[in-house]
Amino acid sequence: MTAAREYVVLNQPFEMYRGGRLEDVTIAYESWGRLAPDRDNVLLLFTGLSPSAHAASSERDPSPGWWEFMIGPGKPIDTERFYVICINSLGSCFGSTGPASPNPATGEPYRIDFPRLSVEDIARAGREACRALGIEQVHTVAGASLGGMDVLAYAQLFPGTYRDLISISAGPHATPFAIGLRSLQREILRSDPAWQGGRYAEGEGPMQGMLLARKLGMMTYRSGEEWLERFGRERIEDPVPLDVDPFRAEFQIESYIDGNSRKFIGQFDANCYLYLSQAMDLFDVADHGTGTVASGLARIQARRALVAGVTTDWLFPIWQQRQIAEGLNAAGVEVDLHELSSLQGHDAFLVDRERFAPMVRDFLAGGERD
């Protein structure tokens, strides 16, 4: 928990998109900047699968956020202009209601009794949180990865309540390759005996399963090109003796993936991970149209949209960015499409400041001129 985190409790039961309902839904958020007197400067930000609402530092919480280079005074998402609200996804475990939260009916965590989670639910929880804060209209809805899917769902479900959109490294739905990967991550996690069919006690979750699932995630969040440049075939300096472990790590790339993945586990609840991962597979903009991506995107009534992705992204390939841009264009949205040549794959938006910062800055500045 961080000092900057705030909470909204929704006063209506929350009907889930694919069935089931939640009582007493809490949505955690952080905010930066000041709401303008006419409330026309809200930038609503959704997150990827794993981050909290701590997208940037603030006076109350000076620790760096996950999009630190993007959000702040004078930064591309300029908090001297925008009132930025970042939402912790419904179903996550950083303050918002999710599988790790107590079920009011039992006092025990929901665990796998949590109803099936959809991207539509995450989007609507963001919408409801804004309304509870007295915000009916937002200037821009933004997000990357799962957050970008949230943006598309939001735009389909709530036409007339937003002006502009930013969708980064997302897709109108998951490809079969991305589904196969995430399905395998979920199976790896559930194969850890410590998962116990989802009934593990708090703090005794499937650590090894989470570690392996996260490692597989890392294989797809970055790119082979980046690793070739950074690591090549560099060896680990002091590997474990072979008589201790004949299959020890030998290469720098192995310890890089291991080290980065270990940072994640322990923080993130395994069941929350399963629900959020599955939501990404199930989402399809086509469901809100007549069965095609184009018909789904045609429901979106934005004025302008920034659609961006990177050429080394395997989870949301660059052709999906074109698909979103074409669909929005056909729907009359003024689209800025950016096909970025970042080396860092899907996660480039988190690290490639050089390409992402000016792009977002220019897009938002373009809106100011209208």
Residue ranges that bind a copy of itself, judged by CB under 8 A: 112, 116, 173-177, 179-181, 183-184, 186-188, 190-193, 208-209, 212, 215-216, 218-219, 223-224, 227-228, 230-233, 242, 246-247, 249-254, 257, 274, 278, 281-282, 284, 314, 317
Q: Is 78 a catalytic residue?
A: no
Helix axes 270-282, 176-191, angle to 10 degrees: 160
**Rounded Cα distance, 7 and 139, in Å:** 22
Distance, in Å, from the CA atom of 310 to the CA atom of 326, rounded to the nearest integer, reads: 17
**Rounded to the nearest whole angstrom, what is the least distance from the CB of residue 231 to a copy of itself in the complex?**
5
> How many angstroms separate the CA atoms of 368 and 179, rounded?
38
Q: For residue 196, what are the contacts with CB-CB under 8 A and spacing of at least 6?
A: none
Select which of 50, 58, 89, 145 is catalytic.
145
Give the strand pairing for 71-72 and 77-78: parallel
Among residues 365, 25, 3, the alpha carbon closest in space to that of 164 is found at 365
> Residue 269 is which amino acid?
D
Q: Return the residue matching tokens 């996660």.
A: 347
Q: Which is nearer to a copy of itself, 87 or 276 (CB)?
A: 276
Contact 23, 104 (CB under 8 A): yes
Closest distance of CB 293 from a copy of itself, Å: 10
- For the bound state, the minimum distance from the C-beta of residue 258 to a copy of itself, rounded and expressed in Å, comes to 9
Q: State yes or no: is 313 an active-site residue.
A: yes
The Cα–Cα gap between 160 and 72 comes to: 27
Residue among 53 and 279 whose Cβ is closer to a copy of itself: 279
> Minimal distance in Å, beta carbon 274 to a copy of itself?
6
The structure tokens 């007197």 sit at 37
CB closer to a copy of itself, 116 vs 303: 116
Residue whose CB is less far from a copy of itself, 15 or 229: 229
Kindly name the residue from 139, 288, 338, 346 that is annotated as catalytic.
346
Say how far apart CA 63 and CA 61 lie, in whole Å.
6
Give yes or no: 54 in active site: no
The distance from CA 273 to its chain's CA centroid, rounded to whole angstroms, is 12
Q: Which residue in this structure is represented by tokens 């934005």?
A: 302
Q: Which of 313, 342, 347, 352 is catalytic?
A: 313
Residue type, 6: E
Whole-number minimum distance, CB 277 to a copy of itself, in Å? 9
Q: Which two tokens stand for residue 249?
A: 């790590």
Closest separation in Å from C-beta 184 to a copy of itself = 5
Q: Give SS3 for 167.
A: strand
Of the two residues 113 and 339, which places its CB atom closer to a copy of itself in the complex? 113
Phi, psi of 329 (to 5 degrees): -55, -50
Give the three-class secondary structure for 28. Answer: strand
The residue (of 128 and 284) whose beta carbon lies closer to a copy of itself is 284
What are the catalytic residues? 145, 313, 346
